[in-house]
Structure 1
Amino acid sequence: MKTLKPFLAALGLLAIIFTGCEKANVDVDTSPGDGTAMGEVSGVWERGSTQVIKGDVVIPAGKSLIIEEGVTILMDTLAKPEFIVKGNLYSLGTEQNPVRFTVNELYKTEAKRFGKLWGGILASPTCAELVLDHTIVEYAGSTTSDASTSVKQGLYKAKAGENLPALWFSNVNGKLVVVNSIFRNLQEDCTYIEGGKIIFANNVFYTTGVTGGEAMNFKSGCLADLAYNLIYATNTNAFKLSNSGDRNPQAYIIAYNNTMVNTGWRRPTAKGGSVWVEASVRAEVYNNLFANTRFGIKRDTKGPEDSRSVFSNNYFYGYDQATVNQFQPASDIIAGTDNVRGTTAGENDPKFVNYPLNTPTINAIFNTAWDFHLLPGSPALTKGKTNFTRHHAAGLTLNGIVYKSPEPSAYVGAYGLK
C-alpha cells in the first residue's frame, strides 16, 4: 500500500493536467488561467487572464480559440510573433473589460508610436469565422523576413519585406465581424481584407501609418457593411475600396455613417485622402462626415469604380481654404448627389461637442478626451438618408451569435446628439 499511494497521487496529478488541456491547448503552459503560448493554440483563454505570446501561434484548421472578456495578450517584442488563424477566432471583450492584443507598457514609447513590435492577426483562407468584439489591437505591423511563418506558409503577400496589417482576412466564403474595437499605434494598414461577408461597425482607428496604410482596405471577394466608425489621421485613406484580385464575388462595399478627421495628410503622394475607389469596385457611400480630410471621395481615373456605384448625402468641412479646394468635384473627385459641400473655409461647421477644428491636419496624436458627437443645432443632424439596403441587415451568425449591420441614421457621421 505504501508504494501504491505515490503512484495513485501521480495519476491524479496527470488527470488534473489533462483536464486543463481540454480547456486550452497550447504548446507551452496548458493552465486555463494565465499562461504563455507558442505553436498551436485552441480552446478558451479565460476571462481576466494574461497570455504571454513567446513565438508565433497558430489556431489549427477546424479548431477554435475563444478569448473571453478582459484577457490581455502580451506579445514578445523580441520574437515579434504572428498570430495565425487557420481555424476560428472569437475575441469577445466587453466595454468595461476589452480584450487587448498588445505589448508590455514599458515598450509603449514615443519612439514606438507606430508599433512594429509584433506581426498581426493573419487569417488564412481556411478561417471560416473571425470576431473581434470590444477588442484593442495595438503596436502591431512588423516587417516580414524570409524566416517569418507567414512567408513560409504563403500567407498575406508571402514575401519578405512586407509590413503586416494588424488584421488580414482572406476567405471569400468566410465571415468577419469587427465591432466596438480599437486599432491604434500601427505601422501600416490596420486591416487588409481579401474576401468574405463582413461587418465593421462602431470601431475607432487612430495613430496608424508611417509612410502609407489605410484604416480599412478591401479587395475583391468582399461583401461588406461599414458603419459608425471613427477614423482619425490615417496616413493614407480611411477606406480603400477595390475589386483587385480576381476573386468572386465582385467587391461590393456599403459605407455609411462614418466620421473621418484629418485623414490622408501624412501621405506625400496624391493617392492619400479619405475614400479611394478603384478597379471596378461597386461602392455605396452615404451619410459620411469628412472633417479636414485630404480630398473628398477620390477615384482612380485609370481604373474607376463600377458604374452602379452611388455616392450621396455625404458632408464635407474644411477649416482652411486649401482643404476646401481639395474636395471640390473634378475628374478624380466624385461629385455624388445630395452632398453638403461648401466652397469657402469654415463653411458647414459640423459643431462637434469637443474637437478643435484648427488642429493641424498632419497631427497623428489622438486625444481620448475629444468628442465627435454633434451639438444641438448642428447642420449635420439632418443631412443623412435611411432608405438604402444593407448587405447584412438580417445578420451574420458566428459561433451561435447573430451580428447585424446597424441601421443608418438621419444624421451624418458616426455620432449624433450625445
Structure 2
Amino acid sequence: MKNTILAAGLAIFALASCSDDDTEPTPVVPPVVEESVSGEVSGVWTKGGTYKITGHIQVPAGKSLTIEEGVTVLFSDSVVKPEVVVLGNLYSLGTAAAPVKFTVPDAWKTPGNQFGNLWGGLVAGPNTTELVLSNTILEYGGAVTTEESPSVKAGLYKAEAGEHVPVAYFMNINGKFIVVNSTIRNFNEDGFYIEGGKVIIANNMFYTTGVSGGDAINIKSGVQADVAFNVVYSPNTNALKLSNSGERTPQAYVVGYNNTIVNAGWRRPTTKGGSIWVESGVRADLYNNLLANDRYGIKRDAGDPEDARSVIANTFYYGADQTTTNQFQPSAEIVKGANDLISAKAGENDPKFVNYPLTTAMNNAAFNMQWDFHLQAGSPALGKGKTDFTRLYAEGLLVNGVTYKSPAPASFAGAFGTK
C-alpha cells in the first residue's frame, strides 16, 4: 500500500513538473509541395520539398536559386516540356542520402521514353557566374527547342528551333561550373555543352544518353576544366568531346583523368563516335583513363588536331572482340600515349570489374544498377595510374562560400579502385 501511494505521489509530481514547463515541442513541418511553378524563380527551395514545374522557369539576372537536399523538381507538363533558363546563379545542393532530383512523373518513365525528351535542360546565360550541381540526379530531359522556347528567344545555346537541349549549357568564360557526385541519365542528346568557364566535373555517373547523337561532356573554347573520376556508360558518341572551336579566350584546356568509359560510340551512325575525341587546337592532358569495349581509342581529327602541348599517358584499353581491339591500335587518328596498356588480342588485359559482363552487347544503352565498376584484386589496371601531374584546381574553386577541389589522381586506371 505504501508503495502504491509513493508511486501515485511521484506521478502527480511528474505531472505538476510538466505543467510548469514552458517549453513547447518543436512542431513537425511537412515538406513543401508547390503544385504549379512557372515563370521567374529565386530564393530557396526547401529541404525535402516537391516543386511541380508546369511551365518554363527562369532564374532572373542578379538573383539566385538554391535547391536544398532531398528536393524533387518535377516537370509535369508534357506539352510545354519546360526549360530551366538561368540568367542568375543556381545551386543544386543534394546529399548522398538525399539527392536533388530533376525528374518527371514515374508514370512517364516507360521504355518508349528511355531517352527522355520530356523536359528541356538547364540553360545558363552570359551573366551566370556560378552553377553548382552537387549530389543531383538529372533525368528524362533533352526536349527539342521551338521558336517559342525561352532559350531560343534569349539567344542561348544554339539559339534555334529543332535542337535538343543538353542536360546543362554553360557559357560564361568568367564563370564557374561545378558538377560533382551526380547522376545524368535518360537524356536525349548531349550531357554538358560548355562554351566557357572554370569547370570541375568529378565523381559522376552518365548512362542511357543520346538517341542518334550527343556526347556526355562537350567542351569548346573558353573552358578550363578538370574532368575526373567519372563513369560514362554507352554514350551515343563520345564520353569527352574536346575542342577549341569558337575562338573564345582562354584556349580550351582540359585535364581529364581517372575516368571509366565503357561501350562508347557504338550507337553513333557515323564514325565520329568513340571514347575521347580531341580536335581544333584543344589542349588536353589525359591520364589514367580506362577504356573498355569502346568503338575507338582516343581519337583526333587528323585534319584539325589538338594542341601539340597536349599530354596523353597511362591509358588502359580492353576489347572483348578483335574488331574493337583493332580500333584501339595507334594510327594517324588514334592517339598513342606514353605508358598506355593496349591489348593486341581480343580479351587481353581484362580489367576485372567487380560486376560487369564484358560480353554485354556494345550497343546496349540500358544500365543495370547492380553493375559495379570497381576493380577486383589482381586487376592489371591497379598500379597503372600516374599521379605526378598538375591538375588545374587542386587548390579549389570558391563558389558560394564553398571550396570545390579537383580530386587527387589515383594510382589505378579508371574511376574506381578496389572496394
- Give TM-score scaled by structure 2 length: 0.92
- CA distance 1:32–1:57, change in 2 (3 Å): farther
Q: Secondary structure at the match of 1:324?
A: helix
Q: Which residue of 2 aligns with 1:415?
A: 416
* 1:93-104 correspondence runs (5 A): 93-104=94-105
Within the alignment, does 1:73 sit opposite 2:73 as a pair? yes
Given that 1:32 and 1:44 are in contact with CA atoms closer than 8 Å, whether structure 2 keeps it comes out as no
Q: CA shift at 1:32, angstroms?
A: 8.8
- % identity of equivalent residues: 60
Partner residue, 1:181: 182
What stretches of structure 1 of length at least 5 have no aligned partner? 1-30
The structure with the largest alpha-carbon Rg is 2
The CA deviation string for residues 382-402 of structure 1, in whole angstroms up to 9 with x for no partner, is 111000001000000111000
Letter in 1 for 2:212: T
Q: Distance between the aligned counterparts of 1:292 and 1:56, measured in 2?
A: 40
Aligned to 2:367: 366
> Does the 8 A contact of 2:31 with 2:50 survive in 1?
no
SS in 2 for 1:340: coil
**Alignment partner, residue 220 of structure 2:** 219
Give, in whole Å, the separation in 1 of the partners of 2:190 and 2:283. 21
Deviations 1:125-159 (A, max 9, x none): 11000000000000111111111111111011100
Alignment map for 1:194-343 (pairs within 5 Å) = 194-343=195-344
Q: Deviations over 1:15-51 (max 9, x none)?
A: xxxxxxxxxxxxxxxx992213111100000000000
Cα distance in 1, alignment partners of residues 204 and 382 from structure 2:
21
- Give the whole-Å Cα distance in 1 for the aligned partners of 2:293 and 2:246: 32
Distance 1:212 1:77 in 2: 23
Q: Secondary structure of 1:284's match?
A: strand
How far 1:302 sits from its partner (Å)? 1.3
- What SS is found at the alignment partner of 1:380? coil
Does the aligned pair in 2 maintain the 1:41–1:60 contact within 8 Å?
Answer: yes
Q: Secondary structure at the match of 2:274?
A: coil
Counterpart code for 1:136: I
Whole-Å separation in 2 of the counterparts to 1:398 and 1:365? 35
Question: CA contact under 8 A between 2:266 and 2:294: conserved in structure 1?
Answer: yes
How many angstroms apart in 2 are the aligned matches of 1:400 and 1:140? 30
2:378 equivalent in structure 1: 377
Q: CA RMSD in A?
A: 0.9
Number of residue equivalences? 388
Q: What is the TM-score when the length of structure 1 is the normalising length?
A: 0.92
SS at match of 2:381: helix
* Counterpart for residue 23 of structure 2: none
Q: 1:288-323, CA deviations, whole angstroms, 9 ceiling, x for partnerless residues? A: 000001100000111100000010001000011110
Distance 1:360 1:298 in 2: 22
> What amino acid is aligned across from residue 322 of structure 2 in structure 1?
Q
Q: Distance in 1 between matches of 2:322 and 2:158?
A: 40
1:40 equivalent to 2:40? Answer yes
Q: Unaligned 5+ residue runs, structure 2?
A: 1-29
Matched AA of 2:41: V
